[in-house]
């Protein structure tokens, strides 16, 4: 226990002749080193803050401008056009200064002002350049001359060696689309889903909205877009996530899996030690802003604001709305094992614990045979159940005493770690191994993950790991970025001994992990049990199937000259129709991080072109040539919609914000109510891989992840997460509910597999036809030569 360890270092005894003080030299040394580390950290954060604050300029450029202005004093050339003299004449207390001092000070002040002006000029020039998105609409592999010039200008104004937050002030704001465009795109998106009468009715509602209330709501939205950095993100976080009163387990949280084929060590404590240490290294770079910003095409920067709340963050329940609590510089984590909560300090002597030291701490917890305290075993089920009972219980039972101290320890921890006692992971010999692994990560036993933490790290006895992440603070690519860094650091930098232990000396002198203490009343135990039963009902209803599609991957799809994402989305439409016999509103998530504070936008994948293609695939009279032509048209439409969503011209976030404004103003809109109440029966998302390119998967093909997934969005629909892994593998994570008689995750996965192969068969048939035609042409040419 760290507090006790430090208390032993300072003792005093009252004696007749005075007070006898005894100081521990070791503890004083640790306190000194901690102070040095803290000041060093502040200095680095200040330095990097200055570097990011003046970017794309640099502090040294200020000195260059000052020297240039000072030189002008001696060569009697005034580049300031008299401004230096004006400053000199208006300096306070100028009578107390010599003429030379006033001249130097005036030149420095003018140079500083000029330098700041140039910084803002560079920044706004870069912002104007980044507002151009024509490049994203160009055909893949083809780049126009104007785009090449634009890219060169962006590189020139982007400066050198940017830090994580260097581009934040230069990112453009998310534009508010025009009402006419949004409403027309919406009507186009629902046209294939409605019959003529339904569509006519929707068109009347849309036109009535456009002609009456829309302009007023749009003006308020424009005002917000000018005032706030992003007109969507704060409302999206609050109304979509934080105001939801239903359980966040399964319904909101998502998961990410470990490496698919490789387990670096089968020792649970050792793997957890390396992974936690790698996370601490990532957090240190994050706090200092030293990670490189993500950039499309290696040039166009992405917003990094979501990364700020990755660690030291907890969702705090409220009666009407939750809040996201983000703290700084947390030095401990909380570990859950077999119903007990332990606090583990992450620092000693002003440094992170080494992997071997963390392994020792985690092994001590695994070896601990103490029993859970009354009510402790299922305590975390409060975070898995409905939000209002949890909020009330938190106020009533955890507002004071040891319960408050222990809850504060959890909510202020860097993150939460669960040491599970059932092995999980991919086993080729077991067809349902990924299903069990996914359900364990998504909900576990409903009481062994703290679902309110920004993320819970889960460690299994066979050495496998995984993450369950809370969704309100960030989206999956943000957590995926951290996880890629951690896995690469774990496997290729830290490593293990031949026996599977963490490398480094074992420090047995560390204070033992501290058991958190609880005094949970019978009444509170009843609330916990109610939350547990509610959560277990949700978890037991999750029908999950994850599988590996290895027949072909991105490599073959790109040879077909089509977008891999469009290919998969059209396969999902074909699979959905074969599974349900009808088309449905389809959600695909795209990112808007090219804008400041951008998060996501919806791509409505079920288009008229996609429907025409699916019908052709099911029409036995249609030829392969016709089907392929319709596929290409549908793929082009999908790509264009995805690009519009990425560049701020999507449909759903605009309509969502108009609806929020209408609620604030008390304006009733049947059109917006109808739009916001439509169910997404097919919800899809692609999790990006290789964001950091720390591992060459062509050289190390086994070091790939299986991606992650989420729970079903609709009671009678599917949730599908897919991950394009390298050139030859695609993983699918499919969820639905057992309570729905219309859905079955295994059946849907078979339909996806067949749809993927059927579409690939179109290209194969076209290729075979071309080969036959080429062979016939060669034979004819040879026959002519013979004659």
256 and 384 both lie in a single domain? yes
Whether residue 20 is predicted with pLDDT greater than 80 in this model: the reply is: no
The values of phi and psi at residue 337, to 5°, are -150, 120
- Residue 380 near residue 307, CB atoms below 8 Å: no
Please compute the mean of the pLDDT values over residues 728-755 and round it to a whole number: 96
Whether residue 21 is predicted with pLDDT greater than 60 in this model: the reply is: no
User: What distance in Å separates the CA atoms of residue 539 and residue 442, rounded to the nearest whole number?
Assistant: 9
In percent, how much of the chain has pLDDT > 70? 91
Model pLDDT, residue 58: 76
312 and 338 both lie in a single domain? yes
User: Is residue 654 in a domain?
Assistant: yes
Model pLDDT, residue 46: 72
682 and 698 both lie in a single domain? yes
Query: What CATH number corresponds to the domain at position 441?
Result: 3.30.559.70
- Residue 570 near residue 610, CB atoms below 8 Å: yes
User: Is residue 784 in a domain?
Assistant: no
The values of phi and psi at residue 327, to 5°, are -115, 170
User: Is residue 731 in a domain?
Assistant: yes
Q: Which two tokens stand for residue 345?
A: 């300090």
Q: Return the higher-pLDDT residue of 732 and 506.
A: 732
Query: If you ran DSSP here, which 8-state letter would residue 428 be given?
Result: T
Q: Which two tokens stand for residue 65?
A: 């401008």
- For residue range 227-274, what is the model confidence (pLDDT) as tens digits? 999 999 999 999 999 999 999 999 999 999 999 999 999 999 999 999
Tokens 């959905």, located at residue: 576
In percent, how much of the chain has pLDDT > 90? 72
Band (767; pLDDT cuts 50, 70, 90): confident
Q: Which of 717, 713, 748, 720 is nearest to 579 (CA)?
A: 748
Give kind and range of the element (H or E) at residue 479. Answer: helix 476-489
Whether residue 200 is predicted with pLDDT greater than 80 in this model: the reply is: yes
When the pLDDT of each residue in the chain is averaged and rounded to a whole number, the result is: 89
User: What distance in Å separates the CA atoms of residue 707 and residue 259, rounded to the nearest whole number?
Assistant: 9
User: Is residue 446 in a domain?
Assistant: yes
Q: Which two tokens stand for residue 135?
A: 């490049």
Residue 386: CB atoms within 10 A of its CB come to: 17
Band (783; pLDDT cuts 50, 70, 90): low
Q: Which of 450, 234, 433 is nearest to 335 (CA)?
A: 450
- For residue range 413-423, what is the model confidence (pLDDT) as tens digits? 999 999 999 99
Strand, coil or helix: what is 732?
strand
Model pLDDT, residue 774: 54
Query: If you ran DSSP here, which 8-state letter would residue 134 be given?
Result: G
Residue 683: CB atoms within 10 A of its CB come to: 23
Q: Which two tokens stand for residue 254?
A: 């998502």
Query: If you ran DSSP here, which 8-state letter would residue 66 be given?
Result: H
Query: Among 9-23, 190-204, 373-387, where is mean pLDDT lowest?
Result: 9-23
650 and 763 both lie in a single domain? yes
Q: How is 218-268 classified by DSSP, letter by letter?
A: HHHHHHHHHHSS-TTHHHIIIIIIIT--S--TTTT-EEEE-BSS--S-S-H
Strand, coil or helix: what is 445?
coil
Whether residue 5 is predicted with pLDDT greater than 50 in this model: the reply is: no
Whether residue 771 is predicted with pLDDT greater than 80 in this model: the reply is: no
Model pLDDT, residue 687: 84
- For residue range 514-572, what is the model confidence (pLDDT) as tens digits? 999 999 999 999 999 999 999 999 999 999 999 999 999 999 999 888 999 999 999 99
Q: Please measure the distance between the N-terminal and C-terminal CA atoms of the chain and give it in whole angstroms.
A: 97
Model pLDDT, residue 78: 74
- Taking CA atoms, 7 is separated from 23, 27, 28, 233, 265, in Å, by 10, 9, 11, 46, 37
- Residue 646 near residue 136, CB atoms below 8 Å: yes
User: What distance in Å separates the CA atoms of residue 265 and residue 496, rounded to the nearest whole number?
Assistant: 7
Model pLDDT, residue 10: 47
Q: Which two tokens stand for residue 540?
A: 């037991």
641 and 753 both lie in a single domain? yes
Whether residue 16 is predicted with pLDDT greater than 50 in this model: the reply is: no
Please compute the mean of the pLDDT values over residues 459-474 and round it to a whole number: 97
521 and 623 both lie in a single domain? no
526 and 565 both lie in a single domain? no
Q: Which of 138, 160, 155 is nearest to 147 (CA)?
A: 138
Query: What CATH number corresponds to the domain at position 669?
Result: 3.30.559.10
Q: Long-range contacts of range 626-632, CB-CB < 8 Å, 24 or more positions apart?
A: 627/762, 628/762, 628/763, 628/766, 631/562, 631/570, 631/759, 631/762, 632/562
Q: Which two tokens stand for residue 495?
A: 């490593």
User: What distance in Å separates the CA atoms of residue 649 and residue 641, rounded to the nearest whole number?
Assistant: 9
Whether residue 211 is predicted with pLDDT greater than 80 in this model: the reply is: yes
Query: Among 70-79, 616-625, 726-735, where is mean pLDDT lowest?
Result: 70-79
116 and 246 both lie in a single domain? no
**Catalytic residue check, 471:** yes
Q: Which two tokens stand for residue 721?
A: 């997460």
**pTM to 2 decimal places:** 0.89
- For residue range 556-598, what is the model confidence (pLDDT) as tens digits? 999 888 999 999 999 999 999 999 999 999 999 999 999 999 9
Give kind and range of the element (H or E) at residue 456. Answer: strand 455-459
| Sequence-ordered strand ranges (E) for 508-618 | 514-515, 542-549, 586-591, 600-604
Catalytic residue among 5, 337, 471, 654: 471
103 and 188 both lie in a single domain? no
Query: If you ran DSSP here, which 8-state letter would residue 372 be given?
Result: P
Q: Which two tokens stand for residue 42?
A: 């502040």
218 and 319 both lie in a single domain? no
Q: What is the span of the domain harbouring residue 593?
A: 179-233+544-772
Give kind and range of the element (H or E) at residue 341. Answer: strand 340-345
Pairing of β 729-737 and β 542-549: antiparallel
Give kind and range of the element (H or E) at residue 324. Answer: strand 323-326
Model pLDDT, residue 8: 41
- Residue 662 near residue 629, CB atoms below 8 Å: no
The values of phi and psi at residue 663, to 5°, are -70, -40
Compute the half-sphere exposure of residue 744: CA atoms within 13 Å on the CB side of its CA: 9
Model pLDDT, residue 7: 39
User: What distance in Å separates the CA atoms of residue 403 and residue 483, rounded to the nearest whole number?
Assistant: 32
Model pLDDT, residue 102: 76
Q: Which two tokens stand for residue 582?
A: 């009808």
User: What distance in Å separates the CA atoms of residue 238 and residue 319, rounded to the nearest whole number?
Assistant: 14
User: Is residue 148 in a domain?
Assistant: no
User: What distance in Å separates the CA atoms of residue 257 and residue 468, rounded to the nearest whole number?
Assistant: 9
375 and 449 both lie in a single domain? yes
Q: Which of 729, 722, 723, 721 is nearest to 698 (CA)?
A: 729
Among residues 491, 514, 541, which one ends one of the domains?
Answer: 541
User: What distance in Å separates the CA atoms of residue 242 and residue 231, rounded to the nearest whole number?
Assistant: 17
User: Is residue 79 in a domain?
Assistant: yes
Q: How is 596-651 classified by DSSP, letter by letter?
A: TT--EEEEE---HHHHHHHHHHH-TTS-HHHHHHHHHHHHHHHHHHHHHHHTT--S
- For residue range 675-694, what is the model confidence (pLDDT) as tens digits? 999 999 999 999 888 888 88
User: What distance in Å separates the CA atoms of residue 603 and residue 399, rounded to the nearest whole number?
Assistant: 44
Please compute the mean of the pLDDT values over residues 172-185 and round it to a whole number: 96
Whether residue 289 is predicted with pLDDT greater than 70 in this model: the reply is: yes
Q: Which two tokens stand for residue 96?
A: 């107390």
User: Is residue 716 in a domain?
Assistant: yes
Q: How is 632-699 classified by DSSP, letter by letter?
A: HHHHHHHHHHHHHHHTT--SHHHHHHHHHHHHHHT---HHHHHHHT---SEEEEE----SS--S-TTT
Model pLDDT, residue 712: 93
Among residues 75, 98, 131, which one ends one of the domains?
Answer: 131
User: What distance in Å separates the CA atoms of residue 455 and residue 306, rounded to the nearest whole number?
Assistant: 14
Band (2; pLDDT cuts 50, 70, 90): very low
User: What distance in Å separates the CA atoms of residue 222 and residue 228, rounded to the nearest whole number?
Assistant: 10
- For residue range 339-379, what is the model confidence (pLDDT) as tens digits? 999 999 998 878 899 999 999 999 999 999 999 999 999 99
User: What distance in Å separates the CA atoms of residue 92 and residue 381, rounded to the nearest whole number?
Assistant: 65
Among residues 512, 541, 570, which one ends one of the domains?
Answer: 541
Band (784; pLDDT cuts 50, 70, 90): low
User: What distance in Å separates the CA atoms of residue 48 and residue 266, rounded to the nearest whole number?
Assistant: 39
Q: How many domains does the chain have?
A: 4
Please compute the mean of the pLDDT values over residues 181-200 and round it to a whole number: 95
CB-neighbour burial class of residue 542 (10 A; exposed 0-12, middle 13-18, buried 19+):
buried
Q: Which of 583, 579, 590 is nearest to 610 (CA)?
A: 583
User: Is residue 777 in a domain?
Assistant: no
Please compute the mean of the pLDDT values over residues 659-671 and round it to a whole number: 94
603 and 525 both lie in a single domain? no
Please compute the mean of the pLDDT values over residues 484-501 and round it to a whole number: 95
């Amino acid at each position: 226990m760290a507090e006790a360890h430090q208390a032993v270092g300072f003792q005093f005894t009252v004696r007749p002749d005075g007070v006898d003080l005894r100081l521990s030299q070791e503890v004083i040394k640790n306190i000194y080193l901690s102070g040095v580390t803290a000041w060093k950290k502040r200095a680095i954060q200040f330095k990097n803050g200055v570097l990011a604050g003046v970017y794309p300029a640099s502090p040294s450029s200020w000195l260059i401008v000052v020297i240039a202005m000072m030189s002008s004093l001696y060569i009697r050339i005034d580049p300031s056009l008299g401004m230096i003299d004006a400053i000199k004449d208006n300096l306070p207390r100028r009578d107390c200064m010599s003429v030379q001092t006033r001249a130097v000070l005036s030149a420095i002040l003018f140079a500083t002002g000029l330098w700041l002006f140039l910084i803002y000029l560079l920044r706004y020039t870069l912002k104007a350049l980044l507002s151009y998105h024509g490049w994203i609409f160009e055909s893949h592999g083809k780049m126009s001359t104007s785009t090449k010039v634009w890219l060169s200008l962006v590189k020139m104004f982007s400066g050198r060696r940017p830090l994580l937050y260097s581009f934040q002030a230069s990112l453009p704001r998310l534009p508010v689309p025009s009402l006419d465009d949004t409403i027309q795109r919406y009507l186009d998106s629902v046209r294939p889903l409605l019959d003529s009468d339904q569509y006519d009715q929707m068109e009347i509602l849309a036109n009535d909205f456009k002609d009456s209330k829309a302009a007023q709501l749009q003006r308020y939205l424009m005002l917000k877009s000018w005032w706030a950095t992003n007109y969507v993100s704060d409302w999206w976080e609050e109304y979509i996530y934080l105001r939801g009163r239903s359980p966040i387990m399964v319904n909101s949280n998502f998961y990410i899996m470990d490496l698919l084929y490789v387990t670096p060590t089968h020792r649970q404590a050792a793997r957890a030690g390396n992974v936690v240490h790698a996370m601490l290294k990532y957090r240190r770079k994050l706090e200092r802003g030293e990670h490189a910003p993500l950039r499309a095409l290696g040039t166009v920067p992405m917003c990094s604001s979501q990364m700020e709340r990755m660690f030291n963050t907890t969702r705090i329940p409220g009666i009407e709305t939750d809040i996201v609590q983000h703290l700084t510089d947390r030095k401990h984590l909380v570990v859950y094992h077999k119903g007990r909560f332990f606090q583990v300090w992450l620092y000693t002597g002003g440094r992170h614990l080494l992997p071997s030291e963390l392994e020792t701490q985690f092994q001590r917890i695994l070896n601990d045979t103490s029993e859970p305290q009354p009510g402790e075993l299922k305590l975390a089920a409060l975070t898995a159940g409905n939000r209002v009972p949890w909020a009330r219980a938190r106020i009533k039972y955890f507002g004071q005493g040891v319960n408050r101290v222990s809850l504060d320890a959890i909510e202020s921890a860097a993150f939460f770690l669960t040491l599970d006692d059932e092995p999980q992971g991919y086993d080729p010999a077991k067809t349902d191994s990924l299903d069990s692994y996914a359900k364990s990560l998504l909900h576990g036993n409903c009481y062994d993950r703290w679902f309110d933490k920004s993320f819970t790290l889960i460690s299994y006895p066979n050495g496998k790991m995984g993450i369950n992440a809370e969704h309100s603070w960030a989206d999956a690519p943000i957590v995926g970025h951290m996880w890629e860094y951690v896995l690469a650091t774990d496997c290729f930098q830290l490593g293990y001994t031949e026996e599977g232990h963490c490398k480094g000396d074992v420090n047995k002198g560390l204070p033992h992990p501290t058991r958190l203490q609880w005094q949970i009343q019978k009444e509170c135990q009843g609330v916990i049990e109610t939350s547990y039963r509610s959560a277990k009902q949700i978890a037991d209803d999750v029908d999950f199937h994850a599988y590996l599609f290895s027949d072909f991957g991105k490599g073959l799809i790109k040879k077909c000259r089509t977008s891999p994402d469009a290919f998969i989305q059209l396969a999902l439409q074909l699979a959905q129709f074969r599974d349900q016999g009808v088309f449905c509103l389809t959600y695909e998530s795209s990112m808007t991080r090219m804008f400041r504070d951008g998060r996501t936008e919806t791509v409505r994948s079920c288009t008229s072109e996609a429907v025409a293609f699916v019908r052709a695939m099911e029409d036995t009279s249609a030829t392969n040539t016709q089907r392929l032509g319709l596929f290409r048209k549908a793929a082009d439409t999908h790509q264009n919609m995805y690009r519009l969503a990425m560049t701020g011209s999507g449909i759903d976030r605009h309509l969502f914000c108009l609806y929020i404004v209408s609620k604030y103003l008390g304006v009733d809109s049947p059109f917006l109510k109808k739009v916001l109440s439509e169910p997404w029966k097919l919800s899809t998302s692609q999790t990006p891989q290789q964001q950091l390119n720390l591992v060459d998967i062509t050289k190390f093909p086994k070091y790939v992840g299986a991606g992650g997934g989420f729970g079903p969005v609709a009671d009678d629909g599917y949730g599908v997460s897919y991950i394009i892994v390298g050139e030859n593998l695609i993983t699918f994570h499919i969820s639905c509910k057992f309570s729905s008689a219309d859905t079955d995750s295994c059946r849907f996965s078979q339909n996806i597999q067949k749809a993927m192969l059927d579409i690939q068969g179109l290209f194969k048939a076209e290729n075979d036809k071309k080969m036959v035609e080429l062979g016939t042409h060669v034979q004819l040419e040879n026959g002519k030569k013979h004659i």
